[in-house]
Amino acid sequence: MTAPLFFSAPYSRLRAFSARLQQGRAAALLSALAGGLGVLSFAPLEHFWIMPFLLALLFHFLRSAENWRQAAWRATLFGLGLFLAGVSWVYVSMYVYGGLSMVMAALPTLLLCFVLAIGHPALGGLFHYYMPETPGRQALFYAGLWLSIELLRGWLFTGFPWLALGYSQTPPSPLAGFAPILGVYGVSFFTALMSACLVCGSRKRLGYWLAALCILLSGWGLRHYAWTEPAGDPVRVALIQGNVAQGQKWLPENFLYTLNLYRDLIAQHPAQLTILPETAIPVFYDRIDRDYLRELKSLAMRENGNLVMGVLTRSDAKTYWNSAVSLGVAPSQAYSKSHLVPFGEYAPFGFDWLLNIPMASFSSAPVRQSPLVLGDQKVAINICFEDLFGHTLAAPLPEATLLVNMSNTAWFGRSLAQSQQLQIARMRALETGRVMLRATNTGMTAVITPDGVVQDVLPQFTIGVLTATVRGYAGVTPYILWGDGGALLLVLLSFYVSLALPARASVVACRA
């Protein structure tokens, strides 16, 4: 097997260095380190170019493993390193706001990281067990396995697709161009495929490096194609960021302060569409003073517009939802959250006793809900965690012309959560070819253009209002048409080509 050439050292030294890295303990430690370093490719740093090299390193370690068990262990360590570093913000909600001790808060955080990495042993073990003979098929098989475990993670236990590889490739990465066609999972596939091609290439196998270059150039070219077009008149929007501390939000003595804060911010920034954050009004909708609601409606109607506020709704004492309710010129409409945050909005089975968080037992609303008709725009609402699910956001499209995310990540303090979620929202804008408006409590309130670029953003942990003029968009991207079905087809094709074509599959029987 020809040694990989993705470092700039002399070839002879590279071979010696590679041989040392293949030793069991060194490879295991470097796999864990590579996974942890993967967080550098995600927000807030967004060094997108790092991820392909880390994936290339893992691919090399899987190919050089002595048996499938060793390969499974290396892949597992990579996954654990990535998630322990990348979703550490879950610990903040458990420790700071959940009232748990440091040890007890670490328990569900560690458990979540192990659950998120549940597919990585299969990735490493299956890759080595069924490793094709030719480098090209190995690269395709590797990419298909990555895509498989990410699709599984986006579905298993209602799904938690945080830190999918594709999110590390938001603009300016050339690979972002694949998002409108195959979504974030398709971007993950091509990221892994390009990484493997880097390893397969050598001085005698330049074709693999050319293949990696073709992937980059194809993505770059697709980034310059406009899948949707502006529709309707420009809309003046005001996105409210209240910065109400989570520890103070539900205290009765702060209730009037919160009401007055949002009323004053709305009054000072007239707009045709005003968006408040998730659960901005910390009380059930039916308990809000009617005079206050009439005042908000009057403020919204000054510009012949509408206001959407985050609030709790309920049908009885035990059934309540995290909702968005509109007031203004249009008839009042509502949207309720369907995908809930584990350990934040509900306790997974068997962990009810762990949480001591106010309003932590929400009900789940239906996934398919109609967009809100506000003026000449049809607004598809998603609340906080829901913007992780591209196929869900695509459900009201192409009818909807604007996407709106209402979030409150104050639960997670000064952590990576805010910037990571903004990056996720950028991917949703890319997939759908729509403007994404984000109104958040503590950050990051932003306007995102259909090409996934942040037009403007408010500083975190400040009180402010982000005003902008935006356009609704009409039309369809391929992702709107087939959702994650395209990524699933890509899995099947990659496995067929790498393992079953031609009829006599060239598979190495590494059955140690």
Nearest residue to 107 via CA among 340, 348, 354, 347: 354
pLDDT confidence of residue 412: 81
- The Cα-based distances of 408 to 44, 432, 439 in angstroms read 18, 23, 9
pLDDT confidence of residue 488: 95
Q: Is 113 annotated in the active site? A: no
162 has pLDDT over 60: yes
410 has pLDDT over 60: yes
Residues 411-463: tens digit of each pLDDT: 788 888 999 999 999 999 999 999 999 999 998 999 999 999 999 999 999 99
- Beta carbons of 390 and 374 less than 8 angstroms apart: no
Q: Is 384 annotated in the active site? A: yes
What's the mean pLDDT in 187-191? 98
Question: Pick the catalytic residue: 150, 200, 384, 431?
Answer: 384
Greater confidence, 158 or 342?
158
pLDDT confidence of residue 424: 97
pLDDT bucket at 503, cuts 50 / 70 / 90 = very low
Question: Pick the catalytic residue: 337, 378, 386, 431?
Answer: 337
pLDDT confidence of residue 354: 54
Nearest residue to 497 via CA among 130, 189, 140, 192: 140
307 has pLDDT over 60: yes
Q: Where in the chain is the domain with CATH 3.60.110.10?
A: 232-476
507 has pLDDT over 50: no
Question: Pick the catalytic residue: 113, 150, 200, 278?
Answer: 278
Greater confidence, 129 or 409?
129
The distance of Cα 282 from the centroid of its chain, to the nearest Å, equals 26
CA distance 272 to 237: 6
Q: Give 361-384 as a DSSP string.
A: -PPPPPS--PPEEETTEEEEEEEG
pLDDT confidence of residue 8: 47
CATH topology of domain 232-476: Nitrilase/N-carbamoyl-D-aminoacid amidohydrolase (3.60.110)
13 has pLDDT over 70: no
- Beta carbons of 351 and 307 less than 8 angstroms apart: no
Q: Is 345 annotated in the active site? A: no
Question: H or E segment at 313?
Answer: strand 306-314
Contacts of 171 (CB under 8 A, 6+ apart): 223, 426, 430, 451, 452, 453
